[in-house]
Amino acid sequence: MVFGQVVIGPPGSGKTTYCNGMSQFLKLIGRKVAVINLDPANDSLPYECAINIEDLIKLSDVMTEHSLGPNGGLVYCMDYLEKNIDWLQSKLEPLLKDHYLLFDFPGQVELFFLHSNAKNVVMKLIKKLNLRLTAVHLVDAHLCSDPAKYVSALILSLSTMLHLELPHVNVLSKIDLIESYGKLSFNLDFYTDVQDLSYLQHHLDQDPRSAKFRKLTKELCDDKESVGNLVKLIDKSNGYIFAGIDASAVEFSKIAVRQVDWDYYRAAAVQEKYMKDDEDFDNDD
């Protein structure tokens, strides 16, 4: 049984940086990691790539040969990958014995809530290779500063989760830049826990665009505590924590219901580290 992550999210949300940082962190805690680049538009990789889709197909070649734009070219590439899944399977098989897998997917969001190619690729790998994967969906943290964009990000996350049908973890990336576009209306836990959205109504009403129509790139390893907590959550969602455990059904159930400790106090710690409180703003004045 092999475990891993399907890393997805909109363009610029930090997927490649996440894969780079997460692979370094996992190596530090003793896991052998293989990063698989499945983004044919990603020609500048900061990490050591175990498998690269560009060895199969290149977006630039597709766009030139078929007169397609970037979006159409990416759909074509995912369709081509699905039809040549045996190529990817043969590349993965030597890694299955002792590697943890990180799949770096393209940023075109339509691939994960509208088109079926990327989902079919993942499902075929799960079935053929007995993989246990969790979808890690990155959302640029600065979207929290704009209520309308935050609600849009929630809808995208939900649509993606329902479409992929995988254990799903949403991650606010670039948390160090969260207030670069404005102060948050509420504490960070409001956004991480997706609390009562009716509280956003007043702020939505103040936005003329909303009235008219009713974005880590610091490496994640810079914040080892947060990444460690994230790994715990992902390990629980894809079953990694159960691997090698010889226990009864009762013991398994105790592990399953045990809290992962992603609560208000940890959200508050992240907020204290990366966000100014009102007193800080007063002192700046």
Instruction: Collect contacts of 179-186 with beta carbons under 8 A, ≥24 apart.
Output: 179/142, 179/145, 179/274, 179/275, 179/276, 180/142, 181/142, 181/145, 181/146, 181/215, 182/145, 182/146, 183/145, 183/276, 183/281, 184/144, 184/145, 184/275, 185/147
Residue 284 lies in a domain: no
| Strand pairing report for 49-52 and 168-173 | unpaired
Domain-embedded: residue 55: yes
| Tokens matching residue 20 | 């780079």
The total number of residues shown for the chain amounts to 285
Q: Look at residue 51 in the predicted model and tell me its pLDDT.
A: 96
Tell me, yes or no, whether 280 lies in a domain.
no
Residue 285 belongs to a domain? no
How many independent structural domains does the chain possess?
1
pTM, to two decimals: 0.76
- Residue 282 covered by a domain: no
pLDDT of residue 263: 53
In a domain, 151, yes or no: yes
Comparing CA positions, the residue from 236, 206, 166, 219 lying closest to residue 25 is 219
* Structural domain span for residue 94: 2-275
CA 123-126-130 angle, 5° bins: 160
CATH number, residue 225: 3.40.50.300
| 73 class by beta-carbon count within 10 Å (0-12 exposed, 13-18 middle, 19+ buried) | buried
pLDDT for residue 111:
87
Q: Using CA atoms, how far apart are residues 24 and 47, in angstroms rounded to an integer? A: 9
Residue at token pair 């800080």: 280
Residue 52 near residue 19 (C-beta atoms within 8 A):
no
Asked whether residue 281 is assigned to any structural domain, the reply reads no
31 within some domain: yes
- Residues 171/230, Cβ–Cβ less than 8 Å: yes
pLDDT at 215: 33
Write out residues in the chain with pLDDT < 50, as ranges: 212-222, 249-250, 252, 255-257, 262, 264, 281
